[in-house]
A and B are shown apart, each in its own frame.
Chain A
Amino acid sequence: MISRRRLGGLAATMGVAALARPGILRAQQLAPEQVMQVGFPVADTGTLDPHIAVSNADVPIVQQVYEGLLALPHGALDATQLSPGLAERWESSPDRKVWTFHLRRGVRWHGDFGEFSSADVLFSLERVRGTTLGSPFRGTLANIAKAEADGPLTVRITLQHADVGFPALMVNHQAGYVVCKRAVEQGVNLRSRPIGTGPFRFEAHRARERLTLAAHDAYWGGRPVLRQIVYHFMPDNATRELALRSGDIDLTALPARQDAVDRARAQNQIVDLTDVGNLVTIHINMKKPPFNDVRVRRALAHGIDRQNLSDFFGKDIATPQLSVVSAALGGHTTDIPLYAYDVDRAKALLAEAGHPNGFATEVICSSIDLYLPMMQLMQEQWKKIGFTMNLRVVDHPTYHRLIRQDLSPLVAYSAARYPTVAQPYLDQFFHSAAAIGKPTAITNFSHYGNGMPGIDDLLDKARYSTDAAEQNRLWAEAQRRIATEVAALPLYSVKYALARNRRVDLTFTQKNYVFYGFSRTSRLLRA
Chain B
Amino acid sequence: MRRFLIRRLLSAIVIVWAVATIVFFSMRIIPADPAEVVLGEHASAESLAAFRRQAGLDQPLLAQYWDFISRAVVGDLGQSLVNNAEIAPQIWFVLPYTVVLAFASLGVGILIGIPIGVLAAVRRNSWIDLASRCFALLGFSFPAFYLGVALLLLFSIWLGWFPVMHSIRFGTWAEHLYKLVLPALSLGLIQAAYITRLTRSTMLEELRKDYVRTALAKGLTMRRVLFNHGLRNALVPIVTAIGLYAGSSLGGAILTETVFNRPGLGKLLVGAIAQRDYNLIQAGLIVFALVIVAVNLAIDLSYGFLDPRVKHD
A residues in contact (CB < 8 Å) with B: 37, 43-48, 52, 54-55, 131-136, 138-139, 189, 191-192, 205-210, 232-236, 238-239, 242-243, 245-246, 248-249, 394-398, 400-402, 415, 428, 439-443
Q: Which residues of A contact B168 (CB under 8 A)?
A: 37, 232, 248
B47 on the A face (CB < 8 A): yes
Decide: A210 near B274, CB < 8 A? Known: A133-B50, A134-B49, A401-B31: no
B157 is contacted by which of A46, A189, A246, A402 (Cβ under 8 Å)? A246
Least CB distance from B42 to A in Å reads 6
9 nearest A-B pairs in the assembled complex, by CB-CB distance: A134-B50, A43-B271, A54-B40, A397-B32, A134-B47, A401-B31, A248-B165, A401-B32, A192-B83
B206 on the A face (CB < 8 A): no
Cα–Cα, bound, A440→B275 (Å): 25
- Interchain residue pairs with CB less than 8 A apart (9): A46-B83, A139-B44, A206-B263, A208-B271, A236-B258, A239-B164, A246-B157, A398-B30, A400-B36
A47 is contacted by which of B38, B45, B94, B160 (Cβ under 8 Å)? B38
B111 on the A face (CB < 8 A): no
B163 is contacted by which of A246, A394, A443 (Cβ under 8 Å)? A246
Least CB distance from B100 to A in Å reads 15
Least CB distance from A48 to B in Å reads 7
Least CB distance from A185 to B in Å reads 17
Least CB distance from B266 to A in Å reads 9
Cα–Cα, bound, A207→B50 (Å): 25
B residues in contact (CB < 8 Å) with A: 30-32, 36-51, 54, 80, 82-85, 90, 93-94, 145, 149, 152-153, 156-157, 160, 163-165, 167-168, 258-261, 263, 267-268, 270-271, 274-276
Q: Which residues of B contact A134 (CB under 8 A)?
A: 39, 43-44, 46-51, 54
- Cβ of A397 and Cβ of B276 under 8 Å apart? yes
Q: Which residues of B contact A135 (CB under 8 A)?
A: 47
CB-nearest residue of chain B relative to A205?
B85
CB-nearest residue of chain A relative to B83?
A192
Least CB distance from B87 to A in Å reads 9
Cα–Cα, bound, A105→B276 (Å): 43
A208 is contacted by which of B32, B43, B263 (Cβ under 8 Å)? B263
Cα–Cα, bound, A350→B271 (Å): 45
Cα–Cα, bound, A170→B44 (Å): 21
Please name 20 further chain A to chain B contacts, defined as beta carbons within 8 Å, in addition to the given A394-B31, A395-B274, sorted by A numbering. Answer: A54-B39, A134-B44, A134-B47, A134-B48, A134-B51, A136-B43, A207-B80, A209-B94, A209-B263, A210-B167, A235-B270, A236-B145, A239-B149, A239-B259, A242-B157, A249-B165, A397-B36, A397-B274, A398-B30, A400-B36
- Cβ of A208 and Cβ of B47 under 8 Å apart? no
B85 is contacted by which of A192, A246, A441 (Cβ under 8 Å)? A192
Q: Which residues of A contact B31 (CB under 8 A)?
A: 394, 397-398, 401-402
Decide: A209 near B167, CB < 8 A? Known: A43-B274, A45-B83: yes
Q: Which residues of B contact A209 (CB under 8 A)?
A: 94, 167, 263, 267
Cα–Cα, bound, A245→B270 (Å): 26
- Cβ of A243 and Cβ of B271 under 8 Å apart? no
Decide: A192 near B84, CB < 8 A? Known: A52-B39, A134-B50, A206-B93: yes
B50 is contacted by which of A54, A132, A191, A440 (Cβ under 8 Å)? A132
Decide: A238 near B271, CB < 8 A? Known: A401-B31, A401-B32: no
- Cβ of B152 and Cβ of A239 under 8 Å apart? yes
- Cβ of B260 and Cβ of A239 under 8 Å apart? yes
Q: Which residues of A contact B30 (CB under 8 A)?
A: 398
- Cβ of B259 and Cβ of A398 under 8 Å apart? no
A44 is contacted by which of B164, B259, B275 (Cβ under 8 Å)? B275
B271 is contacted by which of A44, A236, A239, A246 (Cβ under 8 Å)? A44
Residue of A45, A232, A243, A443 most packed against chain B (CB within 10 A): A243
Residue of A134, A207, A236 most packed against chain B (CB within 10 A): A207
Cα–Cα, bound, A439→B47 (Å): 12
Least CB distance from A184 to B in Å reads 13
Q: Which residues of B contact A249 (CB under 8 A)?
A: 165
Cα–Cα, bound, A397→B36 (Å): 7
Cα–Cα, bound, A134→B43 (Å): 9
- Cβ of B263 and Cβ of A55 under 8 Å apart? no
Q: Which residues of A contact B45 (CB under 8 A)?
A: 439, 441
Residue of A44, A45, A232, A428 most packed against chain B (CB within 10 A): A44
Cα–Cα, bound, A135→B267 (Å): 29
Cα–Cα, bound, A397→B39 (Å): 11
- Cβ of A397 and Cβ of B90 under 8 Å apart? no
- Cβ of A208 and Cβ of B157 under 8 Å apart? no
CB-nearest residue of chain A relative to B167?
A209
Q: Which residues of B contact A401 (CB under 8 A)?
A: 31-32, 36
Residue of A43, A191, A395, A400 most packed against chain B (CB within 10 A): A43
B42 is contacted by which of A44, A54, A133, A232 (Cβ under 8 Å)? A54
CB-nearest residue of chain A relative to B269?
A208
Cα–Cα, bound, A133→B41 (Å): 17
Decide: A415 near B38, CB < 8 A? Known: A207-B268, A234-B261, A248-B168: no
Least CB distance from B168 to A in Å reads 6
Least CB distance from A440 to B in Å reads 8
Residue of B83, B167, B276 most packed against chain A (CB within 10 A): B83
Cα–Cα, bound, A135→B35 (Å): 12
Least CB distance from A341 to B in Å reads 30
